[in-house]
Amino acid sequence: MAKRLIGGLVALGTLLALSCQPDEPSLGVGDPRVAGTWQLHERSTYVDTTQVVEQVPVTPLQTLRFTDDGQIAAEGEKLVYYRSASYYRLDSAAGTLRLTFVLDRLNGDYQQSLLIANDTMTLLPPCEGTCYLKLVRRR
């Protein structure tokens, strides 16, 4: 009888301990300033030492979709760099907006500066020179 009671108490204690563990925090934090779908309109890159500015056609779609709950999805070959990210956070420090792209719990994240003016978002990826992606909010 005592063995059953002890076994039952151990099982109950284990069950309570497991059920009381806090939920893991969300990896992303949504932000209304960027939530929605943004279509790539223009991008600037460097080929060797020459800056190349490209107007991106409407089709095929080249979009970044930011959800209210902090998730991100990228569509299109010109935005393939962003496909590895599943979540995002918008951070501001010293008046500068930085968009953090979160890969997953194991692989960390990466950041890019961004500017938002009306319905245009400009991402500033790190590069030598002036690289940027201009995206327009889709309605």
5 assigned to some structural domain: no
Task: Report the distance separating Cα 129 and Cα 120, nearest Å.
Answer: 21
9 assigned to some structural domain: no
- Total domains in the chain come to 1
pLDDT tens string, the chain, 139 residues long: the values are: 555 544 444 443 443 343 444 444 456 888 999 999 999 999 999 888 899 999 999 999 999 999 999 999 999 999 999 999 999 999 887 678 999 999 877 777 889 999 999 999 999 998 888 899 999 999 7
107 assigned to some structural domain: yes
In this structure, are residues 101 and 85 in contact, taking their beta carbons and an 8 Å threshold? yes
- Can you give the CATH number for the domain in which 53 is found? 2.40.128
**pTM of the complete model:** 0.77
10 assigned to some structural domain: no
Domain encompassing residue 45: 26-137
DSSP state letters, 16-75: HHHHTSPPPPPS----TTT-EEEEEEEEEEEETTEEEEEEPPSSS--EEEE-TTSBEEEE
21 assigned to some structural domain: no
